[in-house]
Amino acid sequence: MECISNQELEQLIDEVRPYSQYGKLVDYIPALKEENSEDLSVSIFHVNGTFFYAGDYLKKFTLQSISKVITLALVLIQNGEEAVFERVGMEPTGDPFNSIAKLETLKPAKPLNPMINAGALAVTNMIQGKDVDEKWDRLLSFVRELVNDDQVSYNERVAKSEYDTANLNRALCYFMKQHEVIEGNIEDLLFLYTKQCAIEMNCSDLARIGAVFAANGVDPVTGRVLIPSHIARICKTFMVTCGMYNASGEFAIKVGIPAKSGVSGGIMGAVPHKCGIGIFGPALDEKGNSVAGVKLLEKMSQIYGWSIF
């Protein structure tokens, strides 16, 4: 079954909105504490080009960890699988996304996967370009292609707020530099990474990116190949095994689609061959996933028969 109207989605978000009261806004990035915890918006972008939305679907939010999937795709395109997986692994962790624990106990000290912060920092470190500006331009152009909108940009205030307070990520970087997983200037890397996490869009834009992944890397509207299909497949697999952090197992059982969340409250979903989904609901559960957003996905997956399992 497919979603066929905005009213249908409006009704679903009214049903799940009350769940927001069980979550709270992220607190370690000061600028994100100012969001409204009751906000909820959703968009579904079908691979045939039709799309639906509900809630304040024009409200912009920053991608945070959702950006990790996009950077991974770019870095795989630029460097190839072998080079990338020399520095970052393919296994899920049962730990929180910002944990440093496994880096110390695993030999060699290679981050377990590209969806946790350590792995994502190692991936961002592999973006090609002669300096930070050129790397940033490449990443932003790629995001703009995926959304098909050259106005997409980043939120400077959120980027600065994270950069100024990112001491845990700094620690991860210095640890990895010591173990030769990453190289170069750490402040430059953090500057780039926090800008990447602060890339801003609305849920319809995010659903469109999800639809590109759902369509194996093909832009559903223009038919252009934006991501080679084997790379889109790798990204979707990471979304299934690690995309919802240490709640990925439960999410696979209850929802069963490739998805990636961010601490801003965003979630991007990709239902293979069917549609992309963009959600924004900033009240988070204790693992850092949008409470109402996950509930909404559970309901939609049941109604529309999305589970891939």
Q: Determine, following the binding rule CB under 6 A, whether residue 35 of this chain makes contact with ligand GLN.
A: no
Q: How far apart, in Å, do the first and last CA atoms of the chain sit?
A: 16
Q: Is 289 among the residues that bind ligand GLN (CB under 6 A)?
A: no
Task: Let me know the angle formed at the C-alpha of 123 by 121 and 127, rounded to the nearest 5 degrees.
Answer: 110
Q: Where in the sequence numbering do the catalytic residues fall? A: 65, 68, 193, 245, 263
Binder of ligand GLN out of 117, 124, 161, 204 (CB under 6 A): 117
Closer CB to ligand GLN, residue 42 or residue 172?
Answer: 172
By CB under 6 A, is residue 189 in contact with ligand GLN?
no
Q: Kindly tell me which residue out of 64, 99, 155, 290 binds ligand GLN, with binding defined by CB under 6 A.
A: 64
Nearest to 209 by CA among 277, 306, 286: 277
Does 65 help bind ligand GLN (rule: CB under 6 A)?
yes
What number of chain residues touch ligand GLN (CB under 6 A)?
Answer: 11
Q: Can you tell me the distance from the alpha carbon of 178 to that of 57, in angstroms, rounded to the nearest whole number?
A: 44
Query: Residue 279: beta bridge partners?
Result: 42, 267
At its nearest, how many Å lie between ligand GLN and the CB of residue 7?
A: 31
Binding of residue 37 to ligand GLN (CB under 6 A): no
Q: Does the footprint of ligand GLN cover residue 262 (CB under 6 A)?
A: yes
Contact yes or no for 29/263 (Cβ under 8 A): yes
Q: Is 288 exposed, middle or buried (0-12, 13-18, 19+ CB in 10 A)?
A: buried
- Contact flag: residue 97 with ligand GLN (CB under 6 A): yes
Q: According to the binding rule CB under 6 A, does residue 263 interact with ligand GLN?
A: yes
213 dihedral zone (left: phi>0; alpha: psi -120 to 50; beta): alpha
Q: Residue 293 interacts with ligand GLN (CB under 6 A)?
A: no
DSSP 249-269: HHHHHHT-S-EEE-TTSEEEE
Give 35 or 162: the residue with its C-beta nearer to ligand GLN: 162
Residue numbers of the site for ligand GLN (CB under 6 A)? Answer: 64-65, 97-98, 117, 162, 169, 197, 262-263, 288
